[in-house]
Every structure is written in C-alpha cells, then in structure tokens.
Amino acid sequence: AIQLTQSPSSLSASVGDRVTITCRASQGVSSALVWYQQKPGKAPKLLIYDASTLDSGVPSRFSGSGSGTDFTLTISSLQPEDFATYYCQQFNIYPLTFGGGTKVEIK
Amino acid sequence: EVQLLESGGDLVQPGGSLRLSCAASGLTFSSLGMSWVRQIPGKGLEWVSSISNIGGSGSPTYYVDSVKGRFTISRDDSKNTLYLQMNSLGADDTAVYHCVSGRLRFHYWGQGILVTVSS
C-alpha cells in the first residue's frame, strides 16, 4: 500500500500567517491526490482534488501543488475558521490511503 | 442539499456482526460510486471499502486488506441506500464509520456512526 507522510503533524500559527503542509507518497501517485479539512466533531470536507484543483466554494487562500510523490497544501493567509486538521489522500491505486493528518492550532 | 445518513452502529461483542446502512438524498445515487471511511475517535482516517456505480450484483467492489473476507459492501439503487455488512468484528474495527460519495475521492460525507467492539 502507498504510504502518505504528512509534515508537520501539528503546527501553531497566527491569523494572517502563511501555512504550508506537505504530503509525501512512498511511490508516485501522479496527480491523484486530495486534501481534506476536518474540524472537531465534524466530518471531513474536501478542499482540493487532483492535487491542485480547488473544490467549489473553497476560498482562494487555499492552494495545492505537486505531482508524483511530493505535494503541498498552502494557506496564504490563515483565518480563524482555518484552524482544523488537514489530511491528504491518494486515489491513484487501491487501497486508497490517507496521510496521518496535520493539526493547525492557534498560536 | 445532499444528505448521507448512517445507521446501524452499536456495541457488539468480538466475533459479532453488524450491518451499517446509509440513506442518501439530494444526489443522483445510482450514478455515483460510494464508499465507507472509518476513523478511530481522535485518530486519523482509514478507507474501508468502495463500490462502483454499475448497479446490481455486478458492481465492482474494493476493500482494504484488513477487512477483506469479513466486510461486504453493497447498494440498493432503488432505495438510494448503501450498506456495509461487517462480520467477525474485532477490537480494531472500533471506529466511527462514515458513508461517503465517490469511489476514489470523497466529496460528500455523512456525519458517521459509531461501532464499538468490546466484551
């Protein structure tokens, strides 16, 4: 199975900060990568699919990049509602796998 | 508005069985692949199983290795309902199970239903 390693596992940041989360795959997944946001007590929400395509309604401060094995989720200016846990997921090959998550906390 | 409403979660003894259901509304269920994703409370996400949208008994299905031979995913397009039959349950199956739309990437999520395996 393809392993996805997210880093960091957690970070503290302030409103307005630029935040970058990385997701590294144990083997190439082309652009078959999704990013989700999960807030406490809520189901995950799809943010970005195909590595860089913003889902409908997702603010433009979110962006995704990468292909192959290295991917990045960037929040250009962190907002209060962005404090959450973020997961990457590959869908290039079964079994589908998720990264371990990155918790973004308030500094 | 899309709604995915899971039911059937319970406390079950090791070795027992449960069937989860997911009633879908607000989307064209029969045209969508569907999946189950689970999450141990406070932990990360794990894909469990997916089913294609071909319909009927011939819909291709996919499973994570840890549930192969124990879990069966199925769908009834006439009822807009997804199922997960879970047999030979063990403590490692304790989790919140989410019904999700899509076979590869997951756009809509149910709130999840708790399955607890314990004696």
For residues B47-61, give the mean pLDDT.
85
The answer to whether residue B101 scores a pLDDT higher than 80 is yes
Task: Report CB contact under 8 Å: A96, B109.
Answer: no
Task: Report CB contact under 8 Å: A91, B45.
Answer: no
Residues 6+ positions from A72 with CB-CB distance below 8 Å: A20, A21, A22, A23, A64, A65, A66
CB A86 within 8 A of CB A35: yes
Taking contacts as CB-CB distances below 8 angstroms, the residues of chain A near B64 are: 95
For residue range A58-106, what is the model confidence (pLDDT) as tens digits?
999 999 999 999 999 999 999 999 999 999 999 999 999 999 999 999 8
Of B44, B46, B105, the CB nearest to A46: B105
User: What is the percentage of chain B residues whose pLDDT exceeds 70?
Assistant: 97
- From CA A63, how far away is CA B31, in angstroms rounded? 29
The answer to whether residue B57 scores a pLDDT higher than 70 is no
Of A46, A89, A91, the CB nearest to B107: A46
| pLDDT at residue B116, as a whole number | 98
| pLDDT at residue A38, as a whole number | 97
**Whole-Å CA distances, B18 to A59, B32, B35, B86, B91:** 40, 24, 17, 5, 14
| pLDDT at residue A107, as a whole number | 87
Q: Residue count of chain A, please give it.
A: 107
Of B44, B50, B65, the CB nearest to A98: B44
Average pLDDT of chain B? 95
Give me B15's structure tokens. Answer: 């070795």
SS3 A20: strand
For residue range A17-69, what is the model confidence (pLDDT) as tens digits?
999 999 999 999 999 999 999 999 999 999 999 999 999 999 999 999 999 99
Taking contacts as CB-CB distances below 8 angstroms, the residues of chain B near A55 are: 107
| pLDDT at residue B55, as a whole number | 58
The answer to whether residue B56 scores a pLDDT higher than 70 is no
Give me A19's structure tokens. Answer: 């935040």
Residues 6+ positions from A61 with CB-CB distance below 8 Å: A75, A76, A77, A79, A82
The answer to whether residue B54 scores a pLDDT higher than 80 is no
